[in-house]
Amino acid sequence: MEVSEEAVGENVEKKQQHIMISYNWDDSIDVARKICDRLTTAGYNVWIDKGQMKGNIYEKMAEGVENAIIVLIFVSPHYETSEHAQREASLAADLHKRIIPIRVQQDHKPSSWLRLITAGQFYHDFSFGSFDDNFKDLLDSIASTPGVESIRSDNFAASSTNKKDVEEEEVVETKTSQEEGRWATWSKNQGLLDTDGGSGGEVAKKEELDFNEDNISDHLRTFADEIDRDNRTKLLDIYVHIWKSHELLGAAEYFPTRLDLSRVTLDIDQISALCYVLKNVEKQVEILDLFECGIQHQSFNIIALTLKKMRKTQIRKLNIGFNDLTSNSIDQIISLLPVIKDKLLLYACFSDDRGGRRCANQEEREKLQRALNKLTTSRPKVYVGLFTSLQAQR
């Protein structure tokens, strides 16, 4: 990337923070500038080169990266072979900037240094589909970044004042075995998978793999209906392998109709791999159980973006109880309502300010209720407490 002194919404001398667009002129200029224009219209300060470099290129590259809250990397063949791009992206990684990869060529698979830097990151794919839909997903991802509202103009930034203090119906401060037992029994009665057994926070351990390119489909076929608890780690290992190789190998076709990942602590690779497969599934999923998987707001954002793109299928029952979401996650939860056909379980899925977990408070429940009332197609029942549910008010 050639960096110039001209930047949209950015003043280097004042060190104003921004979203940085890192791309290569030869194959990404059109989509990069289109995204830049849309972000500027949405009120964000954006740093992008607008012409050939003037002055000290390395100084301006460093200033662009150092003052960025987010760096959008436009993954392409020319970007990968650019020395300037490698320096820029490597500095962003060294400074622990949030990197969001943008795919601009459908057949291109990053390798070497670029694959290492973007490993574990959720790609926003602009190489196919509707630009408007893809940009909306990108905006959702950007909006979930801590501190990003500070680089938005006052007319767009969401106000955090005048919020009423509401009394929560249920607050879950600690994960006691008694409480989890009540939830497990109730969850089973609601038609979900049996969540009894197994210790909380079970980590999906990396074991020696007994699959290869020739027998992956055979393994996946055995999991197509319902997977038992002992094979969950193997399935996740297969999905990570598939995600890293960019080959589905039958994973979407043989996706389990009832997938119980309850009490498996998922890492970012496993979540990204699961989402890579899910977005290609074209059949109805009866149950997706993500109870107590250690899912935080950012990871849930990836899951929600993926489920919203499942255009040809629905999920009958989704369980995201006992995770670590925030109040900011409520909008993503609402966005999933049209995707869920029957039941959405949210019991104690929010972190509280005391290190425990809580159920949806009154304000969040009201937002959910209004969203349910607006649905014209699928109207799931939403369980916000152990004995409290919301339904569309007809």
**pLDDT over threshold 70, residue 142:** yes
Within 10 A of 9 (CB to CB), how many other CB atoms are there?
Answer: 19
The mean pLDDT of 69-84, rounded to a whole number, is 92
The mean pLDDT of 78-82, rounded to a whole number, is 90
Beta-carbon contacts of residue 16 (< 8 Å; ≥ 6 apart): 10, 45, 67, 151
| pTM summary value | 0.55
Q: Which fold has domain 171-390?
A: 3.80.10
Within 10 A of 314 (CB to CB), how many other CB atoms are there?
Answer: 17
Pairing, β 350-351 against β 357-358 = antiparallel
Distance (Å, whole) CA 291 – CA 54:
54
The tens digit of pLDDT for each residue in 335-374 reads 899 889 899 999 999 988 787 889 999 999 999 999 999 9
Question: pLDDT at position 222, please?
Answer: 81
Ranges of CATH 3.40.50.10140 domains, the chain: 18-151
Closest by CA position to 261, among listed 314, 312, 310, 198: 198
Ranges of CATH 3.80.10.10 domains, the chain: 171-390
Report CA Rg, the chain: 22
The tens digit of pLDDT for each residue in 178-214 reads 455 555 555 555 555 444 444 344 444 444 445 556 6
Task: Judge contact between 21 and 48, C-beta under 8 A.
Answer: yes
Q: Which fold has domain 18-151?
A: Rossmann fold (3.40.50)
Residues in the chain, overall count:
394
The values of phi and psi at residue 94, to 5°, are -65, -35
